[in-house]
Amino acid sequence: MRLTPDEQAMLDGKQGPARQKAMELLVRYGEALGAERLVDTNNVCAGVVGPSPFVQDFASKAGSIDAVFSEFNLDSREVVEIPQVKAFTCSVVDGLEQDHWKIQGVKPEVYELSMRNELFCTRIGVQLTYTCAPYLVGNIPVKGEHCAWMESSAVVFCNSVFGARTNTEGCESTGAAMLTGKIPYWGYHLDENRLGTHLVDVQFDVESLMDWGLLGYYVGEIVQERIPVFNGVRRIPNLSRLKHCGAAAASSGGVEMYHIVGVTPEAHSLEQAFGRRKPVATVQFGNAERREAYEKLNSSAKDSAVDFVVLGCPHYTIEQVWEVCKLLEGKHVHCNTNLWIFTPRGIKNIADQNGYTEIITTAGGVLMTDTCPCLGRVSPKGVKVAATDSAKQAHYLPAIMGFQTWFGSLEECIQAAISGKWEGALK
């Protein structure tokens, strides 16, 4: 790999042992991928400690977060002191929320670890965003900007909606990127890897949030890691719909980028989306395909009694919190049901000020931040049946948490929270 003088200096240890370890890791990683060089980045979304029980177990025995960071973010057995980050860095989700860790079923030692980790992050200059949707709280990369982001729903949004450039990075590469301001130049950083591969002929008039989830979910399973180009979309989707569509496609497949002709920044036309290439296949999305995706997402659920309603995957926008409040105000969550809604910390501050948190709390729900059931493995005690408006959460909850899971619209989920029963159906 060709290194600049600045990169070589870091590799030679002239900027301290932590940046040296970081540069060693990036060179190993880049060479394994066939990258010829690194690229500058000033936009990293990273996991420091995070929700992994394995890391948490290591951390509870390690003397310091520097030791955890050395091991898991720099792949170094030698413990090095971690200096201030070079690149602007946001934290992705954690394993708990500090105000609600007890009802989330989190052990006190994991809570303690989270507090120590937060102090560590502030010491080295990592922003305490703790979200899979950093773009909701001020991290909005511009078209063409090179980023190093983790978390599949964030990655697909970054590439597709902003036209910024990132691969799906991990704790190690983002840890190294934040200390060096570098990331291997390969994959989605290169123009030729951003062109569409599959043409999606959207025949159904996709409008609702639920339908955008079904579209993403159906197509993701077919295209897997390749790049779908949605053509025929008649109504411009808003941010929540794009967020849901990408998260769904990244969970049923491994989609890291999509184009919507006439909507996303690298697809003003079909020609631009595909470049000079022809689609490798065409995928239809009509009534039958929409139903197929819906049935697959609901295939784990049998019992109509719902004891857990999960909203906010990916983390909710303030508009979505407001929508919840319009449906929930003056009502009450069923005594056998829990309603948990997830949003970034910054959005919860607005919800607090607007009185939305109080509306949700008065109704018997909880507005939470920083984590989610699938990533944090947090849930109320004794849950058997969940309901959600998120295709991604419906995909993972049965496998990760063992819950039967209903998928439907926000209205159906709120109705289930109030009545304790699932009455949703595909209309």
CA–CA separation, 418 vs 335, rounded Å? 9
By beta-carbon proximity to ligand F3S, the closer residue of 20 and 405 is 405
Check residue 360 for interaction with ligand F3S (CB under 6 A). no
CA–CA separation, 340 vs 333, rounded Å? 11
With CB under 6 A, what is the number of residues at the site for ligand F3S? 14
198-202 and 44-46 beta bridge pairing: unpaired
DSSP code of residue 151: S
Check residue 348 for interaction with ligand F3S (CB under 6 A). no
Q: Give the nearest distance from C-beta 66 to ligand F3S in angstroms.
A: 26
Check residue 153 for interaction with ligand F3S (CB under 6 A). yes
Check residue 378 for interaction with ligand F3S (CB under 6 A). no
Q: Is 167 helix (H, G, I), strand (E, B) or coil?
A: coil
- The beta strands (E) that lie in 172-211 are given as 182-184, 198-202
Check residue 253 for interaction with ligand F3S (CB under 6 A). no
Check residue 249 for interaction with ligand F3S (CB under 6 A). no
Among residues 357, 344, 347, the alpha carbon closest in space to that of 94 is found at 344
Contacts from 407-410 at CB under 8 Å and sequence distance 24+? 407/213, 407/294, 407/297, 407/298, 408/210, 409/208, 409/209, 409/210, 410/209, 410/311, 410/320, 410/323, 410/324, 410/327
Q: Which stretch binds ligand F3S (CB under 6 A): 107-115, 202-210, 369-377, 381-389?
A: 369-377
By beta-carbon proximity to ligand F3S, the closer residue of 101 and 342 is 342
By beta-carbon proximity to ligand F3S, the closer residue of 11 and 93 is 93
Under the phi-then-psi rule, with left for phi > 0, alpha for psi from -120 to 50, and beta for the rest, what region is 295? alpha
Which residues in 81-120 contact ligand F3S (CB under 6 A)? 93
Check residue 375 for interaction with ligand F3S (CB under 6 A). yes
Q: Six-digit token pair at 237? A: 């989707």
Q: Give the nearest distance from C-beta 393 to ligand F3S in angstroms.
A: 6
Q: Give the nearest distance from C-beta 126 to ligand F3S in angstroms.
A: 17
Edge to edge, the sheet with strand 89-91 lists 89-91, 44-46, 148-149
Q: Give the nearest distance from C-beta 243 to ligand F3S in angstroms.
A: 9
Query: Would you say 153 and 159 are in contact if contact means Cβ atoms under 8 Å apart?
Result: no
CA–CA separation, 246 vs 423, rounded Å? 27
Q: Give the nearest distance from C-beta 287 to ligand F3S in angstroms.
A: 28
By beta-carbon proximity to ligand F3S, the closer residue of 104 and 197 is 104
Q: Give the nearest distance from C-beta 88 to ligand F3S in angstroms.
A: 21
Of the candidate residues 21, 315, 377, 395, the single one contacting ligand F3S (CB under 6 A): 315
Helix (H) or strand (E) holding 164: none
By beta-carbon proximity to ligand F3S, the closer residue of 93 and 386 is 93
Check residue 387 for interaction with ligand F3S (CB under 6 A). no
Site residues for ligand F3S per CB under 6 A: 93, 132, 151, 153, 247, 313-315, 342, 372, 374-375, 392-393
